[in-house]
Amino acid sequence: MKIATWNINSVRLRIALVERFLREEKPDILCLQEIKCVNDQFPAKAIHKAGYEHIAIHGQKGYHGVAIISKHPFTEEKAHQFCKKDDTRHISVKLQGGLQVHNFYVPSGGDEPNPKVNEKFSHKLAFLKEMAGWFPAEIAKKSILVGDLNVAPSENDVWSHKQLLKVVSHTPVEVDHLQDVVDKGKWLDIARALVPEPEKLYTWWSYRAKDWRTSNRGRRLDHIWVTPALKKAALAGGKSAYAIHDDARGWEKASDHVPVSLVLNV
């Protein structure tokens, strides 16, 4: 089973890119973040035409929003509101056989990494803290967590560790909060399990760079994690089973994020 995650940065604006990715990579499941539309505005007809009959959507007008599209039927769909905010940042589905997929869009946190003066950063830390205490029942389950978590955790997940230590997405406090989510849920970060450091891994490149490929000032913000029950299945394919589809960053009207995929031996 091939599962992919992609912050699409407006699914209606970039539906042609979604169709292209589905056609070329043929994932069984694609999880999207920042769909930026309410549920009934989601371009379901195009997704169905591409061969994906099953769609779970948790959207809102103009901002945020997540969706899961699948070739396989769902036996359960759920969405959780974190921090008592109605901002559509999570959706999960369960497939036949018991595999559970969680799709997250963690708040970006704004520009100032000080929760006392920046409410967006305070919200991000609170969101991650709530995530860390939310998964104890998942440990024994076959669960996979994907999404734009908006944290690049390690030195080799950013283009310059020293220069980004005080930049939101790579500050020590964010990294510590994300690690707490990993530790308490016993999650395995697939990227680093299959592609160990010091190899650099990026999934996001800023729109500000005129030539993103040449400057290559990226960050690994998009993640795929699994619970212990899925470790063997997730690692069975080796390094080649994990892919960052960075060519998509060069597509016309591209998102600043690229798809990330994993082939599970289930």
pLDDT digits over 33-70, tens only? 999 999 999 999 999 999 999 999 999 999 999 999 99
φ/ψ of 130, rounded to 5, equals -70, -40
Helix (H) or strand (E) holding 191: helix 190-194
Indicate if the pLDDT at residue 138 is higher than 90. no
Domains in the chain, number: 1
- What proportion of the chain, given as a percentage, has pLDDT over 70? 100
Q: What residue has token string 């849920």?
A: 185
CA distance 264 to 266: 6
Indicate if the pLDDT at residue 139 is higher than 90. no
Residues 91-114: what's their mean pLDDT? 97
Is the pTM higher than 0.85?
yes
**CATH, residue 200:** 3.60.10.10
Per-residue pLDDT, 119: 98
Going by pLDDT thresholds of 50, 70 and 90, the confidence category of residue 226 is very high
Per-residue pLDDT, 210: 85
Indicate if the pLDDT at residue 140 is higher than 90. no
Q: What is the mean pLDDT of the chain?
A: 97
- What proportion of the chain, given as a percentage, has pLDDT over 90? 96
pLDDT, tens digit, 9 for 90 and up, residues 156-203: 999 999 999 999 999 999 999 999 999 999 999 999 999 999 999 999
CA distance 199 to 40: 42
Residues 74-95: what's their mean pLDDT? 96
CA distance 255 to 234: 27
Residue 158 carries which DSSP code?
B
CA distance 10 to 214: 26
Residues 219-226: what's their mean pLDDT? 98
Indicate if the pLDDT at residue 136 is higher than 90. no
Indicate if the pLDDT at residue 112 is higher than 90. yes
DSSP strand pairing (204-205 vs 2-7) = unpaired
Residues 111-136: what's their mean pLDDT? 96
Q: 21 lies in which domain range?
A: 2-263
